[in-house]
Structure 1
């Protein structure tokens, strides 16, 4: 299984650190030349591999850590996303509900990534919290996952566990997904909830 993070701002770097802590190799890409962020990637760890966007999107699982408005540009990197799982880490705060066709933001993202399996996840934690080791107070930091494809949600749940998090599946995008998305000037009820699960 291969992994990539598209977007290397605060959220993308926080995700990269989670992969580095677990010693899992992940490609990182932006629309810029990889050399422009190679030193930042190297500072995070040797398993963080800067690549061009066209190369990074060859991964099996792609984390979308760009501004919501940029998701369509990333989707154009491949003619079809068949066989790939996209983890939507975006938040559409400030985007008018009518611009989303009245649907959850992640459903709009899913439509752009033709053929791919989309999981909404990792977006409810701020970058400063996501950046921290998820092992806290003897428990594990929770990440919420929502998807219309239960198999994809299970796959990303297993990855979340490998990264040290405790995944909680919320169901479909039009149900549980509404709890962790933003649009207009409102946030879902679970956004910014920093919860810890104890065994």
Structure 2
């Protein structure tokens, strides 16, 4: 009961409206959950695309979208720092890191998991790595499959934030699986240089027996 009440109070935004951003928007639209969409472009430029996905998809400015308390970062990994700079502090916000750092030199990451680098950029925010292991063509599909539900993996150094995003994933129709911390199980869903984590692209369905 409390979880559903908490979710009612939550506000959501997706930063980025490329293939992954649109796939996430379709997941929200499928359940009629309102989510703001923003890019660096004027919201009028993608308003018709948003409207085509569903009435709960709200095109807005970046500044307006960042008022949400759960923010999906669906931009290129290289752009995460630009988004992070738009607010001096991300206190009270959960950042869901949907980026993939494939091809980014390991030296550039300082030997850390890419999500740890993203987490450090978003000062004060709570970061959850998730929804990034599936390609857009799979992610945009209905997660209800043959009586089961599509798995999404979540990793975070903040158990409470991971649990909150797990609840959201369930509300969107997915089966969340918690992998633990970013530098532990989280490595299974993070690209390292030119190699992919072992769980990336694995499209699994969970059945409740």
TM-score range for the pair, normalised by the shorter chain length: over 0.9
Deviation at 1:45, TM superposition (A): 0.4
Q: Which residue among 7, 10, 15 is the counterpart of 1:6?
A: 15
1:25·1:48 contact (CA, 8 Å) conserved in 2?
Answer: yes
Cα pair 1:91 1:183 within 8 Å, conserved: no
Counting only pairs closer than 5 Å after superposition, residues 102-121 of structure 1 correspond to structure 2 as 102-121=111-130
> In the TM superposition, what is the alpha-carbon distance from 1:183 to its structure 2 partner?
2.6
1:34 aligns with one of 25, 43, 62: 43
Determine the C-alpha separation between the residues in 1 that align with 2:122 and 2:103: 22
2:6 alignment counterpart: none
Offset of residue 21 of structure 1: 0.3
Partner of 2:81: 72
Aligned match of 2:160: 151
- Residue 64 of structure 2 is matched in structure 1 by 55
Give 1:194 deviation, angstroms.
Answer: 0.1
Structure 1 unaligned regions, length at least 5 = none
Q: 2:189 aligns with which of 158, 180, 184?
A: 180
Match of 2:55 among 46, 61, 68: 46
- Structure 2 CA distance for aligned equivalents of residues 137 and 100 of structure 1: 40
Out of 84, 93, 111, the residue aligned to residue 102 of structure 2 is 93
Q: 4+ runs of 1 displaced by more than 2 Å?
A: none
Tell me by how many angstroms 1:76 deviates: 1.0
Q: Which has the higher strand share?
A: 1
Q: Which deviations, in whole Å up to 9, do the C-alpha atoms of 1:137-193 show, x marking residues without a partner? A: 110000000000000000000000000000000000000110000131010000001
TM-score by length of 2: 0.95
RMSD: 0.4
Q: CA offsets, 1:52-94, max 9 Å, x none? A: 0011011010000000000000001111000000000000001
Q: TM-score, normalised by structure 1?
A: 0.99
Work out the CA distance in 1 between the residues paired with 2:108 and 2:73: 20
Structure 2 match to 1:193: 202
For structure 2, list consecutive stretches of 5 or more residues without a partner in the other structure: 1-9
Distance, in Å, in 2 between the alignment partners of 1:94 and 1:115 is 28
C-alpha distance in structure 2 between counterparts of 1:52 and 1:87, whole Å: 19
